[in-house]
Homo-oligomer: A and B are copies of this chain.
Amino acid sequence: MMKTKHVVDLADLSHEELIEIIHLANSIKEHPEDYSDACRGKILATLFYEPSTRTQMSFKTAMLRLGGSIIGFDNPQNSSVSKGESLKDTITVVGGYADIIAIRHPLEGTAAAAAMYSASPVINAGDGGHLHPTQTLTDVVTLYNEMGRLENLTIGLCGDLKNGRTVHSLIKTMSTFKGNRFVLISTAELTVPQYIKDIINSSECGYVEIPSLADAMPLLDVLYMTRIQRERFASEEEYRRQNGVFVLDKDKLKGAKKSMRILHPLPRVDEIDVEVDYDDRAKYFIQTVYGMYGRMALIMKMLESGDRTPSPRIMPTHHYRCCNPKCITASEKYLPAVFREAGGDMLLCRYCDGRTLI
């Protein structure tokens, strides 16, 4: 039985729980028929306050393949729920209908807020640029299956490493395994934030920064590609100059190990040339199938306890408000201000993990 009821951050799971979920995912993959009634009679609510068809289909497929059912909505425009009703009320009601909730929202910290009010377990299916734990679970299940281990891997991460939440989350999770080396492949402006480097430094892993995909290629056991949005570049000239440096094509792939594996959280735009799809090292499509098994395992584990008691009321810890304008507390005013002290005058918001100076 899992120690945590809700999964807002993949770090909510202990190392052992994560391994257990990966093993369960593989067991489902090997013998899907043994699990086809595992959630019979259970209902998953997919509350998508912004469209994300891919993520929603993955969750739905996972629940349906366990014999469960689905309710929910996929678009705030269609939904009377998001008009004039607080998140608290919606979650309280849906937590009474459904056995488990997957929530997606454009604002950071929404899943943590939802978990406060839901009688049923809540899975964070993406809260703005903050967290997206089931994507990282997808990545980890893929690595475990394709590489045979989660340790001692040289993992290249390429693209916009500054803003990419999937990159941050993957590094955080893989840093908990021994001997991994991260090769950070980006422009100097788009490298990972310092706090991510600090996490690596305090782990049994290491990193190097290499500003060229071609140069990094021969080192890599894994290449994790992500998109750089055009508007992230300093200028249009900069974009044109850099354009292509971080695009994976057959030519750059020539420098890679035969055993290298290419991952991508999808959707892909043009950072991987279509020709690469036909290379045996391309694993970004099968990665979505691993993601489905990972979500199946996670849902099963979270439903195991059957705990439907609402959380006790949480009281404010401070009189301040979080100063992150994208934090859910900025729009849902009744949420109690809850911070943890981060030393000095710094408070960390319980919802969005944002920093507020007092």
Of the candidates A57, A74, A98, A285, the one having the most CB atoms from chain B within 10 angstroms of its own CB is A57
Interface flag for A88 (CB, 8 Å): yes
The reply to whether the CB of A267 lies closer than 8 angstroms to some CB of chain B is: yes
Please report which residues of chain A, range 44-76, place their CB below 8 angstroms from some CB of chain B when the two chains form the complex. Answer: 45, 51-54, 57-58, 60-61, 64-65, 67, 69, 71-75
Contact A71 B43 (CB under 8 A): no
Chain B nearest Cβ from A20, distance in angstroms: 24
Which of B53, B64, B71 interacts with A69 by CB under 8 Å?
Answer: B64
Q: Find out whether the CB atom of A288 lies under 8 angstroms from the CB atom of B61.
A: no
A131 CB to nearest B CB, Å? 18
**Alpha-carbon distance A60/B334, docked complex (angstroms):** 30
Residue total for A at the interface (Cβ-Cβ under 8 A): 50
Task: Answer yes or no: A203 CB below 8 A from chain B CBs.
Answer: no
Asked, given contacts A274-B334, A334-B274, whether A84 binds B267 with beta carbons under 8 Å apart, the answer is yes
Is A11 an interface residue when CB atoms closer than 8 A count as contact?
no
A269: interface (CB < 8 Å): yes
A334 proximity list for chain B (CB < 8 A): 274
Return the CB mask of A77-113 against B: 1 if under 8 Å, else 0: 0111100111011001110111000000000000000
Which of chain B's residues has its CB closest to A62's CB? B97
Given A53-B81, A84-B267, A278-B313, check contact A93 B288 (CB 8 Å): yes
In the bound complex, CA of A269 to CA of B88 (Å): 12
In the complex, whether A161 has a CB less than 8 A from a CB of chain B is: no
Cβ contact within 8 Å between B80 and A64: no
Is the pair B71, A54 in contact by a Cβ cutoff of 8 Å?
A: no
Can you list 14 contacts pairing A with B, beta carbon distance less than 8 Å? A33-B41, A41-B67, A53-B73, A54-B80, A60-B71, A61-B97, A64-B71, A78-B78, A80-B267, A92-B285, A93-B285, A96-B285, A97-B288, A274-B334
